Amino acid sequence: MTQSEIQQISSSHRTPFYLYDMDVLDKTISELKKTVSVNPKFRIHYAMKACYESPVLHKIQRAGFGIDAVSGGEILKAIDHGFKPSQIIFAGVGKTDEEINLALDLQIGCFNVESLPELEVISQLASQKDVKAHIALRVNPEIDAHTHHYITTGLAENKFGINLCQLDEAIAKSLSSPNIDLVGLHFHIGSQITIVEPFVLLCQKINAIVAQLFERGINLESIDLGGGFGIEYDDTSKNEIAQLSHFFSTINRYLDTSHIQEVIFEPGRAIVGVCGHLISRILFVKEGVQRTFVILDAGMTELIRPALYGARHPIRNITGDLRKDAPRQVDIVGPVCESSDCFGCDYVIANPKRGDIVSIDSAGAYGHVMASHYNARQLFPSVFYSQGKEILPSCH
């Protein structure tokens, strides 16, 4: 999407708003389909926690991908958007009885089970209904994903997954429960992983576990490697869409799939990250003693990633760029009454002026979905854009 298109769209919408470039989403999806075809056993289940805007879910459904859901709300949203229950995987460390019952009634594809007590409860609830729950055991493989500690999940002390030392017990319990059908193992080592090495280690661990089980006569249908494929946040001009082929070709090289029928991946960010922009307006340019603060009408209430993880998104002054103003070094902050409401220091953007439109890029994943109403801030709209025009605007 060009800068003048962004400028033009913002003239007819109150800022801040999320702007989704659906053409970029289309390209990402078709590139991902091509990349995944490296192995006919590879399947995608979109981690809808990253973004569940309706037009986005519709495109993902039409692409034939399944869903990775983490709540009853996400399961119902997936069903509303045309996904079949069999295409839904239900993950999460804290599933309520109500959510488990919902998933059992719908006969979803698989529960990713994260602990022994959860296994017991699913087994009891399935037995009360006289149904069989398909499950995969989420294993904590104790691999460092080398990412932010808030989004690393595969280390021994994480709350996620069953520890390797408890795996045998969990497998034995699954196999002896008449209402449990153990179909596979699930792994997810973290998010925004930008190097392939943790996935190589993961493949090696999985190969060893699967081979051991196979020797004991336990044949698994599927292995789920989770999501976590990182995108480029630094220089978005380099790649228009997420580059994933190195991840999938590496996994294809290292993972032994001879005893497995299906290999599942749960990417979220890599599918929707790049297509979303948070569009905001400059309220004030405040000259401090040593620093210049650009105060936006968007803040941590619209995009919490910088405040929560110190994430740094690319930011452009669209209006200033169009005016061809010389760049200035500034700190970019939001309006919320918290010091952490800061998008980052020392951004170099075209000379900022009150009223200029700013685009915070690569905000499609974990942006809108993590928004809050703190400070009783007004709800913001989402705008969807494709082939030079706006489609299906919706208000949230």
Q: Classify residue 101 as exposed, middle or buried by CB count within 10 Å of its CB (0-12, 13-18, 19+).
A: middle
| Spacing of C-alpha 317 from chain mean position | 27
Measured in whole angstroms, how far is the alpha carbon of residue 101 from the centre of its chain?
Answer: 25
Q: How far is 228 from 286, CA to CA, in rounded Å? A: 38
Q: Give the nearer residue to ligand LLP in terms of CB position, either 334 or 352.
A: 334
Minimum distance of ligand LLP from residue 29's CB (angstroms): 14
Q: How far apart are CA 104 and CA 111, in angstroms?
A: 9
Rounded least distance, CB 172 to ligand LLP, Å: 24
Nearer to ligand LLP, 15 or 192 (CB): 192
Nearer to ligand LLP, 127 or 158 (CB): 158
CB closer to ligand LLP out of 55 and 226: 226
d(CA 127, CA 180): 9
Residues lying near ligand LLP in the complex (CB under 6 A) are found at 47, 50, 68, 91, 151, 188, 191-192, 226-229, 266-270, 305, 309, 365-366
Closer CB to ligand LLP, 198 or 226, in the complex: 226
Judged by beta carbon, residue 149 or residue 324, the one nearer ligand LLP is 149
Min separation Cβ 191 and ligand LLP, Å = 3
Q: Which residue lies nearer to ligand LLP by CB, 151 or 218?
A: 151
Taking the complex as a whole, the smallest distance from the CB of residue 368 to ligand LLP amounts, in Å, to: 11
| Cβ neighbours of residue 335 closer than 8 Å, sequence gap 6 or more | 283, 295, 296, 297, 299, 341, 375
Q: Which helix (DSSP H) or strand (DSSP E) does residue 309 occupy?
A: helix 305-309
Minimum CB distance to ligand LLP, residue 369 (Å): 8
Helical pair 197-215 and 245-254, crossing angle rounded to 10 deg: 30
Rg (CA), the chain: 22
Q: Minimum CB separation from ligand LLP for residue 184, in Å? A: 14
**CA–CA gap between residue 104 and residue 166 (Å, rounded):** 25
Tell me the C-alpha distance between 296 and 303, whole Å.
12
Work out the number of other CB atoms within 10 angstroms of the CB of residue 364: 30
Tokens of 123: 């087994």
Least distance in angstroms from the C-beta of 366 to ligand LLP = 3
> Residue 151 or residue 200: which is nearer to ligand LLP going by CB?
151
Q: Angle 308-365-280 (CA atoms, 0-180°, nearest 5)? A: 75
Closest approach of ligand LLP to the CB of residue 228, in Å? 4
Residue 139: CB minimum distance to ligand LLP, A: 12
Residue 234's contacts (CB-CB under 8 Å, 6 or more residues apart) are: 312, 314
Q: Tokens for 76?
A: 């119902």
Task: Give the C-alpha separation, 140 to 278, whole Å.
Answer: 35
Give 72 or 320: the residue with its C-beta nearer to ligand LLP. 72
For the bound state, the minimum distance from the C-beta of residue 39 to ligand LLP, rounded and expressed in Å, comes to: 19
DSSP 215-254: HTT---SEEE----B----S-TTT-SS---HHHHHHHHHH
Give the residue with the Cβ less far from ligand LLP, 42 or 229.
Answer: 229
Nearer to ligand LLP, 88 or 318 (CB): 88
Shortest approach of ligand LLP to residue 199 CB, angstroms? 12
Q: Are 7 and 317 in contact (CB under 8 A)?
A: no
